[in-house]
Amino acid sequence: MSGFRSRRTGPRFPPAPVPDDPVELSRLAVRAALGQGFVAAGVVAGFRAEGWAGYRAFLDGGLHGEMGYLERDSEARRSLDSILPYAKAVLCVAREVPSGGRGNVARYARGEDYHDAVRRGLKAVVASLRQAAPAGSHFRVCVDTAPVLEREWAVRAGLGFVGRNGMLIVPGAGSHVVLGEVLTDLALAPTATAVDATWEKCGGCRACLDACPTSAFLAPRVVDARRCLSYLTIEKRSGFTPEEESWLDGRLFGCDDCQDVCPYNSAPRWSEPAREPEASLDPVEIASLDDPAFQERFARSAVRRATPDGLRRNARAALARESR
C-alpha cells in the first residue's frame, strides 16, 4: 500500500547469461527465503501479468478512488520488464504480520515497518543468490515499492490462492501476510506447477463479504476501495464526508475485519483486546501531534503512509464519535 515512482528504465545492460542449473538456483532461492523466516516462497518463470485486464477493469470502474498512482503506473504493471529490463523470473515471498487482538491499528502496521523487514530478508536472499548465479545477473527487490501485481505473482509462484476477500491466503498460515518479490533477469525454473487459478477454495463461505462494515465488496474479490476502511484511513487524502466518518467506528489506521472472520485465519481471534502497545493509538495524542512529531514517532512504522494530516483527521473522527 504505497505510492512509488515508476522506474521506466529502458535496457541499460546486457541480459544475464543463462544459468547452468536453473532448478538448483530456484531451490537455493526458496531455501534462502525460508531461512530468512518467510512463511512461504516460490519462483515464477515469466514476466507478463495475466490478470492485468482485471486490474484495468478495477481502474475503469473508478474503484481506486484518489489513488492516482494506480492509474499512472497502470501500463507498467502489465510486464515486469518495465521495472527490470529483460526480467525473466520472480521470487515471491510472504511474511507473517504480528499476531494480536483488537486495536485501532491494522495488524500489518504494528511493530517494525514491514517494508523494512521484508526488504532486509530479500536482500539477504539476493546476497546468497549472487554467490551462485552467473556474473552479470541482475536482481531487484520490491515490497509494494514498484508497479507489480503482487497478489497475482504470489499465486503463480504457488504461495496460495486469492480468497473471496481478495487476500492472498497461504495454506496453513492464512491471509495475515505481507508480500515481497525479487525480480531477476536470470532464467530461473518455476517451483510451482501450472497455476490452479480457480477461486473455489472458499467453498460457499461468505463470512468476509458479510462482515465488511461498509459493504465494500461489489462481488467476491472485487473491492470498491472508496468504501474500504483501509483506503479511507490510509490512502484517502481529502476530508471525510459525514457518511464516511460515520463508518470509521474509531479506527485510526486500516481495517482487518474481512480477514479476521476468515476460517483460514485461526487463533488468535479478534475478540480480545491486544496487549501490544502499538495495536492502538491514542486519538487525543494523535489529534494534536504536529508534523515533526509525527515524522519522528512513525519514522520506522508503516503508519507513516497515512500522512500527518490524514492520521489527525482520523483521530478527530474517533474523538467526535466518542463525544456523541
Catalytic residues: 144
Per the DSSP assignment, residues forming a β-bridge with 253 are: 105
Q: Which segment (81-89, 121-129, 226-234, 304-312) binds ligand B12 by CB under 6 A?
A: 226-234
- The answer to the question of residue 223 lying near ligand B12 (CB under 6 A) is yes
CA 27 to CA 43: how far, in whole Å? 9
CA 320 to CA 158: how far, in whole Å? 45
CB of 136 to ligand B12, least distance (A): 28
CA 227 to CA 223: how far, in whole Å? 8
- The answer to the question of residue 257 lying near ligand B12 (CB under 6 A) is no
Helices (H), the chain: 22-35, 52-60, 68-72, 114-132, 150-156, 207-211, 229-230, 242-247, 257-260, 283-287, 291-297, 308-322
Residue in 101, 82, 118 with CA at minimum distance from that of residue 2: 118
* Per-residue contact string for residues 145-174; x = within reach of ligand B12 by CB under 6 A: ---xxxxx--xx-----x--xxxx------
Per the DSSP assignment, residues forming a β-bridge with 94 are: 40, 179
Answer whether 125's CB lies under 8 Å from 29's CB: yes
CB of 248 to ligand B12, least distance (A): 12
* Per-residue contact string for residues 170-189; x = within reach of ligand B12 by CB under 6 A: -----x-xxx----------
All three cell numbers of 207: 463470512
Pick from 81, 235, 244, 260: which binds ligand B12 (CB under 6 A)? Answer: 235
Determine the size of the site formed for ligand B12 (CB under 6 A). Answer: 41
Q: Which of residues 59-78 bind ligand B12 (CB under 6 A)?
A: 67, 70
- The answer to the question of residue 50 lying near ligand B12 (CB under 6 A) is yes
Nearer of residues 25 and 317 to ligand B12, judged by Cβ:
317
All three cell numbers of 91: 521470487
Footprint of ligand B12 (CB under 6 A)? 1, 50-51, 54-55, 58, 67, 70, 106, 108, 143-144, 148-152, 155-156, 162, 165-168, 175, 177-179, 195, 197, 223, 225, 228, 230-231, 234-235, 254-256, 258
